[in-house]
Structure 1
Amino acid sequence: MTLGSVAEFKLSITKALADQLAEALDPLEPCPLKSENLNQLQDRPGVYVLFLDDSRVYVGKTAKALPERLSQHLKKISGRSKLSLDRMGFVCVYVDKDMDSIAPERMLIARYTSAGDVPWNNNGFGNKDPGRRRDHSLVKINHFDADYPINLDIPALLLNTRTSVSTTLATLKKMLPFNFRYDTGNKGKSIMKSSYVTIPSTATTFRSVIEEVIQALPAGWQATALPGYAILYREEDDVVYRSATGWWRKSLKDDAVWHPGPSQRDYSQEPIPSDAEIIPDVESPDDDS
């Protein structure tokens, strides 16, 4: 008997499932990523693929409801510059709940990546807010947030009534398609509850609303636009966040002045951590994401 007469066979259930999922997904025609289409989906677990200009950019799965997960992606994309929802599409297949533990999407990611597809699976698209301590971190040059920063001119319509800054910020946060984190420490909350602002009817965007908020707060408060989210904290001096698009601080005339940021990027070759690899800053009381 020769070595060529003997081989070892290992059954890969995950690979078999991934192959069958690809066979089910690949023939499907992308549907526009719009609310009216998501509303027609069943509230069932599933695997899905996102498309940008008819090219696969992201594959994911949810053990809960497909419409909910896809709506989260729709909301995130709607708040980005240089990216229009009109360019986005999706396909999906319903799967059994038991398939979640097998994680077949990992094999799908490997399959599509080898073909040059699904770049968003490796560029931080699925990452969430890691917390206050990482606000100063440099954003990778190929990160989703670097390619598609938040749109500061996103519509934000608030009632033209006098309310506390605390109430105004809570209302603003709920309507934004990107994360907006602000000081929720005891001292910060006290200042925001005792400061009042009236948002004029002419202030209809995040940019214009946050300018009104800064003017209503005492000196030392700074609102900063980072590539993927915005923050508002009391800062001792003009704090420079290296990856920031810019920030607002109150001038000597009590005007909210916009300072363009350095928009620096990390050019290292280290891979971007996946969402599961980022440990949230659980010790920070102001991380309310």
Structure 2
Amino acid sequence: MSLENHAEFKLSITKALGDQLAAALEELTPAPLAMGNILRLRPLPGVYQLYKGEDLVYVGKADKSLPQRVEKHFRKISGRRNISIEEMSFTCLYVDEDFGAVAPERLLINKHRGQGEVPWNYNGFGNNDPGKRRDTTVVEEKHFDRQYPIDLEYAFPDIVTVDGASEAESTLAKLLTIAKGFLPYVFRYESTKAFDEITVRLPAGPLTADEALRVISEHVPAPWQVTALPGYVIMYGKTEDYPSGMRYYRAGQVIDPAPDA
């Protein structure tokens, strides 16, 4: 029998909350990551989980609107190679705004990380535009963008409608705006008023991302360059090689670096 009349007791409220969140999400059946299912969500804050096949790969939160946040992931994954949107499913839990102060997604991440899950929370999946300073960094093999690089064969919808004509005229500025809006990954470029004065002739019908970028590079003056990096596309007014560059578009010429370049 212990003769001590005092001891330590540690109350972990956050662990209890994390366990409750995880238990509530485990009761839900994952739905395919499809726009029909996303649009059925209510525009409320909450937490969500993404599954690739049977594996829980990512936990996130939406401060304002779950469907808006989940749709961003739908678009991102739709524009990637080595992965199909048909592999993906999700669950969501609406969370009271007052609960946001305890970072519910962090509680879930901590719980699932201890079980060897949610790898995408630690490999760059949730990042938006990483910023210009990251353009020249080497993308590591375990990074999401290296495992699932952008798909340059992604097909735009028919961005130009022409009655009975095979081509249409646009400005380079307009084409850049359209490309930025339709691409399911970041397209960051330096803008200039000169692009408003450059006329571009577009073929009718849908274009792939690669075809659109070729057209753009044909019309920007030297030394402008379009560069496809593992996770996004950039265009600046200088010719430059990047450590993780996948494809360069220079004056209409397409250059694919050697694998070990």
**TM-score normalised by structure 2 residue count:** 0.91
The answer for the alignment partner of 1:225 in structure 2 is: 228
Give the aligned residue type for 2:232. Answer: Y
The answer for the alignment partner of 1:240 in structure 2 is: 241
Instruction: Tell me which of the two structures has the higher relative contact order, counting C-alpha pairs closer than 8 angstroms and 6 or more residues apart.
Output: 1
The answer for the alignment partner of 2:257 in structure 1 is: 261
Q: Is the aligned partner of 1:168 residue 2:164? A: no
Query: Aligned to 1:108, what secondary structure does the other structure show?
Result: helix
Structure 1 residue 130, shift from structure 2 partner: 2.3
Structure 1 residue 6, shift from structure 2 partner: 3.4
Structure 1 residue 146, shift from structure 2 partner: 0.4
Q: Is the 8 A contact 1:244 1:262 kept in 2?
A: no
The answer for the alignment partner of 1:125 in structure 2 is: 125
Q: Is the 8 A contact 1:221 1:234 kept in 2?
A: yes
User: Could you say if the C-alpha distance between residues 29 and 210 of structure 1 is closer, same or farther in structure 2, counting changes exceeding 3 Å?
Assistant: same
User: Could you say if the C-alpha distance between residues 54 and 3 of structure 1 is closer, same or farther in structure 2, counting changes exceeding 3 Å?
Assistant: farther
Query: Aligned to 2:10, what secondary structure does the other structure show?
Result: coil
Query: Aligned to 1:140, what secondary structure does the other structure show?
Result: coil
Write the mapping of 1:68-83 to structure 2, written as runs, cut at 5 A.
Answer: 68-83=68-83
Structure 1 residue 240, shift from structure 2 partner: 0.8
Listed one character per residue, the Cα deviations across residues 200-255 of structure 1 (whole Å, up to 9, x for unaligned) are: 126611101111111122221211000000011111x4x111101111112xxxxx
Q: Is the 8 A contact 1:221 1:233 kept in 2?
A: yes
Aligned equivalents of 2:7 and 2:61: distance in 1?
35
Q: Is the 8 A contact 1:243 1:264 kept in 2?
A: no
Give the aligned residue type for 1:169. Answer: L
Write the mapping of 1:130-145 to structure 2, written as runs, cut at 5 A.
Answer: 130-145=130-145
Structure 1 residue 11, shift from structure 2 partner: 2.5
Q: Is the aligned partner of 1:34 residue 2:34? A: yes
Q: Is the aligned partner of 1:183 residue 2:179? A: no
**Percent of counterpart pairs with the same letter?**
43
The answer for the alignment partner of 2:60 in structure 1 is: 60
Structure 1 residue 161, shift from structure 2 partner: 2.3
Give the aligned residue type for 2:133. Answer: R
Structure 1 residue 158, shift from structure 2 partner: 2.2
User: Moved runs in structure 1, 4+ residues, more than 6 A?
Assistant: none
Structure 1 residue 4, shift from structure 2 partner: 6.2
The answer for the alignment partner of 2:164 in structure 1 is: none
Structure 1 residue 105, shift from structure 2 partner: 1.8
Give the aligned residue type for 1:96. Answer: D
Gaps of 5+ in 1: 251-255, 266-289
How many residue pairs match? The answer is 254
User: Could you say if the C-alpha distance between residues 22 and 197 of structure 1 is closer, same or farther in structure 2, counting changes exceeding 3 Å?
Assistant: same
- Of 152, 174, 197, the residue aligned with 1:194 is 197
User: Could you say if the C-alpha distance between residues 165 and 4 of structure 1 is closer, same or farther in structure 2, counting changes exceeding 3 Å?
Assistant: farther
**TM-score normalised by structure 1 residue count:** 0.83
Gaps of 5+ in 2: 161-166
Aligned equivalents of 2:119 and 2:6: distance in 1?
40
Query: Aligned to 2:133, what secondary structure does the other structure show?
Result: helix
Aligned equivalents of 1:104 and 1:94: distance in 2?
11
Query: Aligned to 2:51, what secondary structure does the other structure show?
Result: strand
